[in-house]
Amino acid sequence: MEWLNNKSTWTLCWQASRHGWAASTFHTNCDFKGPTVTIVSVDAGKYVFGGYSDISWEGIMYVQKQSSSAFLFSLRNKDDLEPFKSLIAPGYELWAVYQSPYTGPAFGQDGIELYVSDNAQFSTCEANFGQVFKPPPGYKFNRKTTKVLLGGKEKFLPSEIETYYLADN
């Protein structure tokens, strides 16, 4: 992805289908590793999107983490838009990343802008972005068109989730 430093080495820390879908497994494998990128696939790759966090995951308590560098992205989406990157809206840096021992990677206020649930293969996830992370032109927070853009539905079951950490950090 051109949005990430191509000279960096990214190493897989969690692949849900291989390591297990539990949030605790995500945290065991990815906590305290530094910057990460999470890639979510829905309907066997029909929709592909995710988020980048420059902050280490710490699944020890519920807490919002501040960042001006975190972002969401879409590679394949419901409306066939070109790949896009959603930056943090000015004034929302305090709400960039949501940390909880009971969720996988989560972005936005209370994790609702990209929320990976515990045991996500059975428990729905959501991507209602547009408040903390700026949506593409013509899309607005809390509108159905925005809620379904990334995952194809308001609530979706991922077919795969992978998180990579910056190994040369």
Residue 6 lies in a domain: no
Q: Take residue 30 and report the two structure tokens written for it.
A: 């990815």
The closest of 112, 89, 91, 87 to 100, measured between CA atoms, is: 112
Q: Which pLDDT does position 7 carry in this prediction?
A: 76
Domains of the chain: total: 1
The C-alpha atoms of residue 47 and residue 42 are separated, in whole angstroms, by 5
pLDDT-derived band at 169, boundaries 50, 70, 90 = low
The model carries a pTM of: 0.95
Residue 3 lies in a domain: no
Please give the DSSP secondary-structure letter assigned to residue 88. B
The C-alpha atoms of residue 105 and residue 95 are separated, in whole angstroms, by 14
Q: Which pLDDT does position 59 carry in this prediction?
A: 85
Q: What is the pLDDT of residues 18-43, one digit of tens each?
A: 999 999 999 999 999 999 999 999 99
Residue 2 lies in a domain: no
The C-alpha atoms of residue 24 and residue 36 are separated, in whole angstroms, by 17
Identify the domain containing residue 95 by its residue range.
13-167
The C-alpha atoms of residue 163 and residue 73 are separated, in whole angstroms, by 14
Residue 42 lies in a domain: yes
Residue 65 lies in a domain: yes
pLDDT-derived band at 1, boundaries 50, 70, 90 = low
Q: Which pLDDT does position 101 carry in this prediction?
A: 95
The closest of 61, 71, 69 to 103, measured between CA atoms, is: 61
Q: Take residue 143 and report the two structure tokens written for it.
A: 């509108």
